[in-house]
Amino acid sequence: MYTDEHGNKWWKGNLHTHTTRSDGRMSPEDCIALYRANGYDFLALTDHWKISKNEEADGMLLLSGCEYDFGRRVQDGIFHIVAVGCERDPGVTREDGPQGCIDKIHAAGGVADLAHPAWSMNTLAQLMPLADVDYTEIFNSVSDLPANCRPYSGAIIDLLAAQGVIWKTAAVDDTHWYQKDACRAYIWVKAEECTREAILAAIRAGDFYSSEGPRMEVTLDREANAVRVRCPKEDHVSSVIYFTDTAWTGHRSDVGEDLTEAAFPLTGRETFVRVELRDREGRSGWGQTVGIAN
């Protein structure tokens, strides 16, 4: 946990992890110990079709979790839906399909994640009919090398936003092998306390961002007509990148050393702005998409 300059508390967590309960290489107990040792405040064990419990383990908040999968062919649509924080087993079956799964997760008091859309090669035609997705994964560690090759879903998220579908985004590990896929990508959640109720409320409200290292504050400054970014000097941010649906603009990034402030001046043409950071070691931070009402 860290406290920002405004006095807000930010809690570190991973929402997608697998253990020996399904196809992960580490026991639940060892997984929890690993993430706790790496400074995580909360964790969701999301084994395939096996839901875990809401509980605490030696000071770490465990959110209930489960990953459900639908479809086997990219052409027909492959959908992996992760349930987090359910108060009871949502009772999902394969016959429910992705939308029925999302609906049952909500009925059980949880939040629903559309997992790794780039890895699944999801198309806009497949994703846009889905309703009430709480967030999707902008980065998924296990989808990176050496096991896979599509960890980053930013392009899909931007294409959705350009069509008016703005989903919240989270970076996750989706840990299986406990090598380069563990303790890499996480979210920072702004909440007064690290409880199930507070963390889920913040996720639903979009009061979180994702990172491999850099911290950030992204705000829409209506008076200055700009999206502003602030980051701590000690995080050694070397670039701030702006993703929008403006085809022609002279300002795509701010580049330097130990950046602490940057801004994207709105042109009046964009309908969204999404910010990414890079630090001097190449680690990324991902802000939530900011919708611009023109």
Q: How long, in residues, is the chain?
A: 294
Q: Which domain holds residue 251?
A: 217-291
Do 72 and 134 lie in one domain? The reply is: yes
Place of tokens 């296990």: 142
Do 271 and 174 lie in one domain? The reply is: no
d(CA 53, CA 21): 13
Do 158 and 239 lie in one domain? The reply is: no
Do 231 and 175 lie in one domain? The reply is: no
pLDDT of residue 170: 99
Do 141 and 271 lie in one domain? The reply is: no
pLDDT digits (tens, 9 = 90+) for 59-116: 999 999 999 999 999 999 999 999 999 999 999 999 999 999 999 999 999 999 999 9
pLDDT of residue 62: 98
Residue finishing a domain among 182, 210, 238: 210
Residue finishing a domain among 210, 228, 250: 210
Is the pLDDT score of 293 beyond 90? no
pLDDT of residue 70: 98
Do 205 and 222 lie in one domain? The reply is: no
Average pLDDT, the chain: 97
Q: In sequence order, which ranges of the chain are alpha helices (DSSP H)?
A: 28-37, 97-107, 124-127, 154-162, 196-205
- Cα–Cα distances in angstroms (integers) from residue 53 to residues 28, 64, 87, 88, in the given order: 12, 4, 8, 8
Residue finishing a domain among 151, 175, 210: 210
Do 114 and 231 lie in one domain? The reply is: no
Do 181 and 268 lie in one domain? The reply is: no
Q: Which two tokens stand for residue 73?
A: 């062919």
pLDDT of residue 294: 63
d(CA 148, CA 137): 15
Positive/negative CA dihedral, 194, 196, 202, 207 = positive
Whole-model pTM: value is: 0.97
Do 126 and 8 lie in one domain? The reply is: yes
Do 186 and 237 lie in one domain? The reply is: no
Do 157 and 287 lie in one domain? The reply is: no
CATH of the domain at 18: 3.20.20.140
Mean pLDDT of 145-164: 97
- Side-chain half-sphere CA neighbours of 72 within 13 A: 1
Query: ω into residue 28 within 30 of 0, thus cis?
Result: no
Tell me how many domains the chain contains: 2
Single-letter amino acid code for the residue at 188 = W
Do 147 and 269 lie in one domain? The reply is: no
